[in-house]
Amino acid sequence: MKYTEFENCGLKKSLDMISGKWNPLILYHLFHQGNYRFNELWQTIPKVSKKVLTKHLRQLEENGLIQRKEIQGFPPRTSYNLSNKGKKLGPILKDLDNFGNS
């Protein structure tokens, strides 16, 4: 495998999707409690800044792992939950967790 091939191999793509500082924790919460509004998530993850949380969520959304929905009403709310693709990560994250604990 050459460098150029590596840059867009599946492994690299997957790791880029999940390895931002807060992504594993965001995914963890979405796996364990279906869906979150923005501020809920922000309060649940105490140390992340809004800016970075937004950035992580946008990126997860772009990569198709989560879905963002705007909820009608005022003030405007958003809801985030795992997509079908995102849910497929479940067993892999579990394997990684087991590996890290072994």
Q: Could you tell me which residues are beta bridge partners of residue 71? A: 77
The minimum distance between CB 27 and DNA, in angstroms, equals: 14
Q: Of 61, 79, 83, 93, which one interacts with its own copies (CB under 8 A)? A: 93
- What 12-15 contacts at long range (C-beta under 8 Å, 24+ apart), as own/partner pairs, is none
Instruction: Give yes or no for residue 6 binding its own copies (CB under 8 A).
Output: yes
Interface pattern 40-79 for DNA (x via CB under 7 A): x------xxxxxx-xxxxx---------x--x--xxxxxx
Contact criterion met (CB below 8 Å) for 64 and 85? yes
Cis check: omega of the bond before 46, within 30 degrees of 0: no
Q: Can you give the binding site for DNA, defined by CB under 7 A?
A: 20-22, 37-40, 47-52, 54-58, 68, 71, 74-79
